[in-house]
Structure 1
């Protein structure tokens, strides 16, 4: 099912043409997730229900595209806070390949449990994503395996961009799209895939401000990792390729704090019965804080891989 469209080198920043090629490439595997048109606080908004993706998160898109467009290999290795690992492990299973996923020891059990079901080899190491990634890359070099980065890979970014392309087709009246930011792959991809006239808002926790730090420094730099959403948005540094894309195709950055994220997560349950992980509530937290421009924004509900009991009251 892989088309003959040439793939962009992983070391080069992707383009909108790469996103279009990715959409064709993964169409037979990834779900075309719906958009919910709703009103909240007397205002209209759109919710892109990407938590209904096959793996419960958007990461499958990038993983599928990278495996299908990248070098042929029977064994792929990666590191992940959970959702990217689920994407890679599921993509590998769908394509008949083997996957090894390195995880921080702090990865939520809800994600490791789902990962175990894919049949991938799982190795837990360290307290943060960066440690797991360093160990996985060392293993890849030692064993001669192909390492797939969670967000600093052109084909991963292009695959994530198919989400923005879907929103453009499903909701041409949308004037802004809000995504959560960790390493920047989703924000960069959506910027490439969305209508150029649509504002892309990149919302990130104050405790994991990779994009803000990079924009302030003029290059990706190391930042803190301390947020209720860090299991999904816990990159300590914005990716080089996402930064390149964002530098040429600007987006609108904003910060939210953990209290806002927790409140937005609860609001998604109370208003729409959406039980999602903290990262998926970051866009709504930004919207509720008045940090999202536009008359009809689309909030990307990026994942739901968490065990959670809502607070009733």
Structure 2
């Protein structure tokens, strides 16, 4: 194997270092995800770490590498979320002063969590790159040790311990799918897994809006940027140390669009009964994007983080119900006569539909002066049930018109 920033021996030493300090997370069979994807799926639940992500592994391995004098001076890191919390949590546990520079746009809850772990939090800049520049400036001024989130051999080796654990628990895995941000996670896992089982295939996955490694490896210039649910892997610049490992040992990188990331987050919540942030669900999204690549294989998914805002998770789950036509909205326009709304409600009840919301209006200009417009949102069992409801309403002469997020659709037939 070519010379890289880390070797399997580095990862094994990291495993010994973090033992007892970082949770050895379970690799759990996922029969319902297997049914969804056509593969035999196991999930590595890194969302069970105390701070909710795999970042603790690299953070502990790096912090434990410091000299006594470096520990006394303290550490500094830049991060918008998971790395910040992992460094802050374990620095406090080890008695090391920690400073974290976060973008001013960082989610308030993540900044507050990082403060709660005892770190000094500095909000600076609009982007993570501006935060990184500020962190390096403070490190130089105050003599702090910079803890990079992915471009550091100790961090990479710490993340690689996931690969050792996965193959110890499931040595018959054919593939491991790993989300890619800066590359620390996939490079560490790849070095470990390929050393222990050369035949195993490591598949990388990036958000389609942030194809940084894809561009670097394939010499392409796809645009990078935009609002993504997978903000944990929304990295514009690849890690210099991880890049050669990914280029040489990871045969392909799957790019996943936002609707598939949302679908994967929802599938983890509803089928696996676990929390996955967008980045954590990216591996499953890759399986949904290219099912034939994984069909019939034994696949290990790295659920690398579960720090998703409750409001975002709720929104994702409702949107998936709408995509599956289990929640549907429609408009009925009719003469304004007593009992009409009650008759519609009774009819929906007889059809087994649950009414979620009703908006009753007489003021739309496209409604006759003596007419009424009713917008109704219902919940049904599935897409076929929704179709039955709409056909029944149309047969009753109510002419329901579907409403979606883009337009008022044609009347249902």
TM-score by length of 2: 0.69
Give the 5 Å matches for 1:207-222: 207-217=209-219
Q: What's the CA shift for 1:253?
A: 1.1
- For 1:171 and 1:114, locate their aligned partners in 2 and report how far apart those are by CA, in whole Å: 34
Q: Which residue of 1 aligns with 2:14?
A: 22
CA positional deviation for 1:188: 0.3
Alignment match, 1:306: 308
Q: CA deviation at 1:162?
A: 0.3
Superposition pairs of residues 231-310 of structure 1, within 5 angstroms: 231-290=231-290, 292-293=293-294, 295-308=297-310, 309-310=313-314
Match of 1:152 in 2: 151
Partner of 1:66: 62
**What are the residue-to-residue correspondences of 1:157-196 with 2, within 5 Å?**
157-194=156-193, 195-196=197-198
1:31 aligns with 2:23: yes
2:48 corresponds in structure 1 to 52
Asked if the contact 1:206/1:227 (under 8 Å) is kept, the reply is no
CA distance in 1: counterparts of 2:245 and 2:62, whole angstroms: 18
State the shift of 1:65 in Å. 0.4
User: Which SS does the other structure have where 2:270 is aligned?
Assistant: helix
Instruction: Quote the Cα distance in structure 2 between the aligned partners of 1:229 and 1:190.
Output: 24
How well do the aligned residues superpose, as a CA RMSD in angstroms? 2.0
Aligned to 2:122: 123
- Identify the range of structure 1 (57-66 vs 170-179) with the bigger mean alpha-carbon deviation: 170-179
Q: In the aligned structure 2, how far is the partner of 1:233 from the partner of 1:200? A: 17
Distance 1:162 1:149 in 2: 18
- How far did residue 237 of structure 1 move? 0.5
Structure 1 142/61 Cα, relative in aligned 2: closer, same or farther at 3 Å? same
- Give the distance between the partners of 2:257 and 2:126, measured in 1 at CA: 22
Distance of 2:55 and 2:165 partners within structure 1? 15
- Going from structure 1 to structure 2, the CA distance change for 1:266 and 1:100 (only over 3 Å counts) comes to same
**1:199-244 residue CA offsets vs partner (Å, 9 max, x unmatched):** 11110001111110110239xx997232424531122111000012
Query: Any stretches of 5+ residues in structure 2 without a counterpart?
Result: 322-413
Which SS does the other structure have where 1:89 is aligned? helix
CA 1:251 to 1:33, structure 2 compared with 1: closer, same or farther past 3 Å? farther
For these two proteins, the number of residue pairs brought into alignment is 300
How far, CA to CA, are the matches of 1:285 and 1:250 in structure 2?
18
> Structure 1's 107 and 113: CA in aligned 2 closer, same or farther, altered over 3 A?
same
